[in-house]
Structure formats: structure tokens, C-alpha cells
Amino acid sequence: MAKAYWITLYRSIRDPEALAAYAKLAAPALQAGGGRILARGLPAVVHESGLKERSVLIEFDSVQQAVAAHDSPAYQEALRVLGNGADRDLRIVPGVE
């Protein structure tokens, strides 16, 4: 089974306090769901149409595990806390076998 990668690219952050509160809940919720945070923070370099905003890369053992982590009550609570504090693009992408 191929691993899966959760990729979150921020377009803008409207409420840094809401983002900080979200992060305190989201990281433990996703780790409890099997996620391993591989990278997070501002990009070192941006090319093409990229934005110099926060990016997060999390590895899971499968797409199903990543989706289950997203849909978990703990992560849904983190999303509720974030509210409209950020505009993001979140993707779950299967790894290459």
C-alpha cells in the first residue's frame, strides 16, 4: 500500500492567534491518527506561482488513514477553532509505489 501525503498550503493568514490555537490541537490530533509531520513553516524558496506563506507536509501510511485523521473528532475541533483565520489549500496525495 502506498503512503499518503497531506499537503497544506496557506494562501493567507487572517488571524495568527486562531492559527496558533488550531496548531495546538491539530498536530496532536493528526499524530494520534498516524501522521508524521515532515515539514512545516515558511518556504525557503518560492517558484512559479507559489506564495511565500506557511506550508505543511505530513506523511501517513495510507490515503484512508489520512482521510480518517482529517475526519476525526479531534481534528474537526481544531478546524472549528481555526474558523476563518486562514485561507488554505489542503490536499491528500497518494505516494508513488
Whole-prediction pTM: 0.93
The CA angle 73-81-12, to the nearest 5 degrees, is 120
Mean pLDDT over all residues of the chain?
Answer: 96
Q: What is the pLDDT of residue 97?
A: 80
Q: How far is CA 64 from each of CA 24, 48, 52, 85, rounded to the nearest angstrom?
A: 24, 31, 30, 27
Over pLDDT 70: what percentage of the chain? Answer: 100
Strand ranges inside the chain, DSSP E: 4-13, 36-41, 55-60, 86-94
**Each residue's pLDDT tens digit, 17-61:** 999 999 999 999 999 999 999 999 999 999 999 999 999 999 999
Domains of the chain, CATH where assigned: 4-94 (3.30.70.100)
